[in-house]
Amino acid sequence: MVTVVSVIRVLSVLLIALPAVAGCRLPDPVADAPARLTPAQLLEGGHYLTAARLLETALKQRPANASTNGQLEWMLSKAKASLAHGDTDTLEQAMEFAEKALAADPNNSAYHVQVAATAARLAEKASLFKKLAYVRRAKQELDEAAADATQIDAQWGLMMYYFAAPPLVGGDRNKARQIAEKLAATVPDLGRYYAGRLALELNEPAKAEAYYKQSFGENPLLFDTASALAMYYIRTKPDQSKAELWACQAVHADPGRADAWALLARVHTMCGCWTEAIRIAERAEKVDPENMSAYFAIAEAAIEHGEQYELAANLLRKYLGMPIEGDQPSEAMARMHLGTAFAHLGRTAEAAKELKAAVELDPTLDAAKAELKKLRQ
């Protein structure tokens, strides 16, 4: 029997076989796409700013004596955790909402996963004593959630826990590999994407590439896989024609995601096609006026290429002029790049100001510290 999915797979294979000169046929951007989505769809598509506003309003308007299943709190926790960018106060708010969701429905495995994910983010900025407590809490909640064999996010969380945690608190990379292999076998599309993510962390790029392509073969409409392959050919194994193909696929998988368009803008910087990259970023801004990630992507590429510093500075100021969307580069990263651009433009005082701000926001930014040290010499 011929299904829609099987037809899509065939068409996708044909697309991959086309020569690079065929280019990427882009869909017309729908202006302000997030306005048409539900809170759940907003979260799925990375529109955390809009989701947070809607969810906060819904919670305020809910009668005090209304029964709850924790759904609003869970979604708001996800939004706030993504928007925190490492800010402890915002992460603690996210944890508060995650705890409320779990209290409303202790048997909901997704709620356990959200408590675990937020605890893991809090651990990144905590003191040693608190770090251990958060790590143990994350493991406890993941174990609880993983009892539900259908909870893929819990399996992914456990896999990354075993990969990242030190042996003292249960880290075990062999267990991480075992979970990855099981996910790849039992959930062929998303599971192989997750297995690819682990392979990259384990410095096994060829295996990651293979897993990603297998995931795409199972589900050509999975945005995460297309974007992962685009980044693979941008960063890990630079190849502009392949990067463009997969970035284009990411845009078609979800034309309403500004970060999909940001991938495509980044691809155009690989050949120094700055004007075309800006055009793509402008399309991204029409799609989602709150997500400036495409401008950041171009600016970061300019800094890395060692050119277009004035352009980079202008785009970074635009990026910093808006609230930063969730799961996008932090203010600290943007200020570090802005400081670097100013330094190369000979604007030393402005460079020092931005670099100091970057280090204050994120003391782990060694590159910012190094650039600041060069300024002082």
**Which residue do the tokens 């970060």 mark?**
259
- What band does 58 get if pLDDT is binned at 50, 70 and 90? very high
Q: Is the pLDDT of residue 19 over 70?
A: no
Q: What tokens appear for 15 in the block? A: 């697309």
- What band does 18 get if pLDDT is binned at 50, 70 and 90? very low
Residue 5 lies in a domain: no
Residue 118 lies in a domain: yes
| 139, 170 Cβ separation under 8 angstroms | yes
Q: Is the pLDDT of residue 307 over 70?
A: yes
User: Domain of 90?
Assistant: 39-148
Residue 13 lies in a domain: no
Q: Is the pLDDT of residue 55 over 50?
A: yes
Q: How far is CA 66 from CA 52, 61, 75, 289, 319, in A?
A: 21, 10, 18, 35, 40
Q: What is the spatial distance between Cα 25 and Cα 359, in angstroms, rounded to a whole number?
A: 41
Task: Tell me how long the chain is.
Answer: 377
Query: What's the burial of 221, exposed, middle or buried (CB within 10 Å: 0-12/13-18/19+)?
Result: middle
Q: Is the pLDDT of residue 9 over 80?
A: no
Lowest pLDDT segment from 24-38, 88-102, 269-283, 338-352: 24-38
pLDDT at position 145: 93
To 5 degrees, how large is the angle CA 210–CA 213–CA 216? 150
Q: What is the spatial distance between Cα 211 and Cα 269, in angstroms, rounded to a whole number?
A: 27
Residue 160 lies in a domain: no
The Cβ-side half-sphere exposure at 283, using a 13 Å CA radius, reads: 21
> How do residues 89-130 score in pLDDT, each as one tens digit?
999 999 999 999 999 999 999 999 999 999 999 998 888 889
Angle between helices 366-376 and 331-344 (to 10 degrees): 30
- What band does 17 get if pLDDT is binned at 50, 70 and 90? very low
Q: How far is CA 75 from CA 105, 195, 281, 331, in A?
A: 14, 26, 29, 24
pLDDT at position 32: 81
Q: How far is CA 161 from CA 9, 120, 175, 178, 372, in A?
A: 33, 9, 10, 13, 34
Domains identified in the chain, total number: 1
> How do residues 268-295 score in pLDDT, each as one tens digit?
999 999 999 999 999 999 999 999 999 9
- Residue range 225-244: average pLDDT? 97
Q: What tokens appear for 305 in the block? A: 């290429």
Q: What is the spatial distance between Cα 187 and Cα 104, in angstroms, rounded to a whole number?
A: 29
% of the chain with per-residue pLDDT over 90: 83
DSSP state of 323: P
Residue 337 lies in a domain: no
Dump the DSSP string for 60-91: HHS-TT----SHHHHHHHHHHHHH-TT-HHHH
Q: Is the pLDDT of residue 24 over 80?
A: no
Residue 142 lies in a domain: yes
**Which residue do the tokens 């096994």 mark?**
204
Taking alpha carbons only, the member of 176, 273, 222 closest to residue 5 is 222
Residue 89 lies in a domain: yes
> How do residues 139-165 score in pLDDT, each as one tens digit?
999 999 988 878 899 999 999 999 998
| 91, 84 Cβ separation under 8 angstroms | yes
Q: How far is CA 47 from the centre of its chain?
A: 11
pTM of the entire structure?
0.90
- What band does 23 get if pLDDT is binned at 50, 70 and 90? low
Q: Is the pLDDT of residue 10 over 70?
A: no
CATH number at 117 reads: 1.25.40.10
Residue 302 lies in a domain: no
